[in-house]
Amino acid sequence: PMGSERMEMRKRQMSTTQETPGTAQAQHSTGNRGSNACCFCWCCCCSCSCLTVRNQDEERARRTSHELQAEGIPNCEESPAPTLEEVNGWAQSFDKLMLTPAGRNAFREFLRTEFSEENMLFWMACEELKQESNKSVIEEKARLIYEDYISILSPKEVSLDSRVREVINRNMLEPSQHTFDDAQLQIYTLMHRDSYPRFMNSAIYKDLLRSLSEKSIEA
């Protein structure tokens, strides 16, 4: 069911992005003809103003800016090469895997092969948000996280249940470092239960473990 819902969301996204500026302006002027659901607004209620049809030129420019920012994100975190002891530790618990940059990098590489890298990216963005103390920076980062990983129009949308989405929408009225805590925990749990077991049986993990074992024997 979740897969079919996400498929429908993707179809909705495609139909929205194909819409011409003239059509969007017509919908904005007529108001009631468009959908009542606000795609980017944080409260997702019918009474709020919908940012998706306010100004397509501004929206397109903002999206381009986000894409450029994303291109600047390194493919992996900076970290020393993992030791054999560390890699063996990853098999002991998911927590140990996620505690080190090398573990997150290896797991993220695996998630990329399953087209679910957004789960790790979202988790890392939430961790980064928790380190902020400046109110304006927190609000801006929370907005970007919402649009990149929570919005149904984002290609990097993560899978969250309706309860967690409602919590996020309430929290976005006054963003803080902990706006996405419930969502981050749900994605962490999803990665732990769903992706982690497959990672431990993957060629990525086994090849790394074998390579480090061989180096250890040679030494």
Q: What structural domains and CATH numbers belong to the chain?
A: 84-216 (1.10.167.10)
Side-chain half-sphere CA neighbours of 76 within 13 A: 17
- Do the Cβ atoms of 211 and 200 come closer than 8 Å? no
Model confidence over 99-116: pLDDT tens digits? 999 999 999 999 999 999
The answer, yes or no, to whether residue 15 has pLDDT greater than 80, is no
The answer, yes or no, to whether residue 166 has pLDDT greater than 70, is yes
Which uninterrupted H or E stretch holds 205?
helix 203-218
- At residue 70, the pLDDT reads 38
Model confidence over 35-83: pLDDT tens digits? 344 443 444 443 343 343 334 444 443 443 344 333 334 456 777 899 9
- 147: which DSSP letter? I
- At residue 24, the pLDDT reads 41
Q: How far from the centroid of its chain's Cα atoms is residue 76's Cα?
A: 15
Of 2-6, 43-47, 128-132, 184-188, which gets the smallest average pLDDT?
43-47
Q: Which two tokens stand for residue 2?
A: 């979740």
The CA angle 200-206-211, to the nearest 5 degrees, is 145
- Do the Cβ atoms of 157 and 196 come closer than 8 Å? no
